[in-house]
Amino acid sequence: MTSDKRHVYAFYFCLETDAFCVYISAGLTVLFSGVFMMPEAHQDAIQILVFCVALIILAIFTPFVLKALKKNKTSTPADQIAARESDKLTESIQTPPREKVLQPVTTSSEAVLSGDEAATVEKALLKTRENFWGRIKNAFSSNAVKPLDDVEEVLYTADIGSTTVQSLMSHLDETLSSSDKKDLDTVKKTLREKILSILHASNGSVEHDHLAIPQRIKWAAEGPTVLMIVGVNGAGKTTTIGKLSALMAGQGKRVLVAAGDTFRAAAQNQLKVWTDRAQVEIFSPEGVTDPSAVAFDAVAKAKAQNYDLVIVDTAGRLHTQVNLMEELKKVKRVMAKNSPEAPHNVWIVLDANSGQNALIQAREFHQALNLTGVILTKMDGTAKGGVVIGISNELKIPIKILGIGERIHDLKPFSQQEYVDSII
Ligand code: GDP
C-alpha cells in the first residue's frame, strides 16, 4: 500500500461526525501512524493486518453510524426535545415515584405558625421567571437571525408541555409579521396575552383572581361540604390539608379531616400532627383499613354533628396502578351514598417540581375522578412553574391554590394576572 493511500484511509476515518465514530477513527489513526514508524521490513505484514482490522470494525459499526446520521438529519431540534420529553414521561408513568420518608414535623407549632418573611407568589416564582422570561430575553440578545426558533426551544424546556408549546408558537407565527418576530417587546406582549387567554379559558375571567381561598370551594347547599384531596405520595397532600384546615378553622368553620390513607401509618401520624396544629378534629378510626369506610363514616359523622367541611385525605401510591384508581373511585362513590352531591370538590395536589409529570398525574386522576380543582405545591424555589399553563391548556381544570412554602400560612389563591406578571 502506498503512503498516499494510507493517508486517504486515515482521513476517511477521521472524517466521521458521530462521537462513536470519532473514537474508532482516532484508534485507527493511531494504528496507521504506528505503521508509518515501523521499520520497512515489517511494514507490509502489519499493513495487511491493520487493513483487515479496519475492515472488520467498519463492517460492524457502519449500520450504527448510518442510523445515527439519519436520525440527526430527519429530526428538528424541537422533535428531539419532544422525543426526549416523551421518553421521560413514559418512564415516569412506568416507574413508581420513590416514596418519600416523611420527616417528623417540628413539635413547636410556633415555628410553623409564624415566619420572619412573608412568602409571596412573586418571590416563589422567581426561578420560574428566570427559566422562562430570562431565557426568552437571552434568545433576543444573542442577535440570532430567527430568535423565535430559540424561543420555541425555551418553551419546550419550560415544562409547559409540547401541545401547549405548539399552540403558543403557532399563535406567534400567525399573528406576528416577520419584523415583529424579531422584536422582543412585541413577542413578550403577544405571549402574555396568549397565556392569559389560556388561563382564562380554564380558570374563568380575571374577576376570579380576587376570590379568597374559601370562595374557591364549592359549598354544599345543605349539610357538610366534602372536599376530597388526591395526589401521589410526597406531592404535599398532608401539608396542604393542614394549611387548608387551619385557614378554614380560622374563618370559623367546623372542619373534620378524614384520614383516608389507611395504607400508611406514617401518613396518619403526620396528618394528626397537622390537624393538631390547625386545631381541627381528625377522623381516624382505630383498626379500620378500608379507605371507603373511613370516608363514608366521616361524612356520616359530619352530617350528624353539623360540621361545615370534611376534608378527605386519600392514599397516593403510584397513580398508574389500576387498583389505586379503582380504590379512589370507590371512595368517591361511597361518599355519595351518604350525601348525594358529595364529594362536592375533588382537588388534586401536584408537586410543581415534577414538571411534566404533574401534567401526566393530573390527566390520569382526571380520567378516573373528574377533578374539579388543582393545588400546585412547592412553587417556591421551583423553575418548573410553567406547568400551570400546560395544565390549564390541556385539561381545563381550574388552578385553585398555590403552595409556596412549608409553613402553615404558605398557601395562596391562584391569580392568573399575578402568575403571568411574575413569569413574563
Ligand atoms: P403527601 O405525601 O402528599 O402527604 O406530602 P406531604 O404533605 O407529606 O409533603 C411532602 C413534603 O413536601 C414535606 O416535606 C412538606 O414539607 C413539603 N411541602 C409540601 N408543600 C410544600 C410547599 O408548598 N412548599 C415547600 N417548599 N414544601 C412543601
3-state secondary structure of 132: helix
Q: Which residue has the cell 493511531?
A: 30
pLDDT of residue 34: 58
Q: Which atom of ligand 1 is nearest to the CA of 349?
A: 3
Residues 118 and 343: their CA atoms lie apart, in Å, by 33
Greater confidence (372 vs 146) lies with 372
278-326 pLDDT, tens digit per residue, is 999 999 999 898 999 999 999 999 999 999 999 999 998 755 566 899 9
Out of 18-27, 116-125, 198-207, least confident range:
18-27
Phi, psi of 233 (to 5 degrees): -60, 140
pLDDT of residue 382: 87
Q: What is the mean pLDDT of residues 53-73?
A: 60
Query: What is the residue with the minimal CA distance to atom 5 of ligand 1?
Result: 236
- Report DSSP letters for 267-302, one per residue: HHHHHHHHHHHHT-EEE--TT---HHHHHHHHHHHH
What order of strands is seen across the sheet that includes strand 225-230?
281-283, 255-258, 309-312, 225-230, 345-351, 373-377, 399-403, 411-413
202-231 pLDDT, tens digit per residue, is 999 888 999 999 999 999 999 999 999 999
3-state secondary structure of 124: helix
Task: Please give the torsion angle defined by the CA atoms of residues 316, 264, 276 and 229, in that order, rounded to the nearest 10 degrees.
Answer: 20
Cα dist from 205 to 160, 162, 195, 197, 398, whole Å:
21, 25, 13, 9, 11
Highest-pLDDT range among 1-5, 158-162, 239-243 = 239-243
Which residues have CB under 6 Å of ligand 1?
100, 102, 231, 233-239, 270, 316, 377-378, 380, 403-406, 410
Out of 13-17, 81-85, 405-409, least confident range:
13-17
Write down the pTM of the prediction. Answer: 0.75
Out of 143-157, 256-270, 313-327, 398-412, least confident range:
313-327
Query: What is the residue with the minimal CA distance to atom 13 of ligand 1?
Result: 236
Look at residue 169 and tell me whether its pLDDT is greater than 50.
Answer: yes
Tell me the pLDDT of the chain averaged across its residues.
81
**d(CA 352, ligand 1 centre) in Å:** 11
Greater confidence (124 vs 55) lies with 124
Best residue among 377, 379, 380 to mutate for probing ligand 1's pocket (most ligand atoms within 8 Å of CB) is 377
CB atoms within 10 A of CB 94: 9
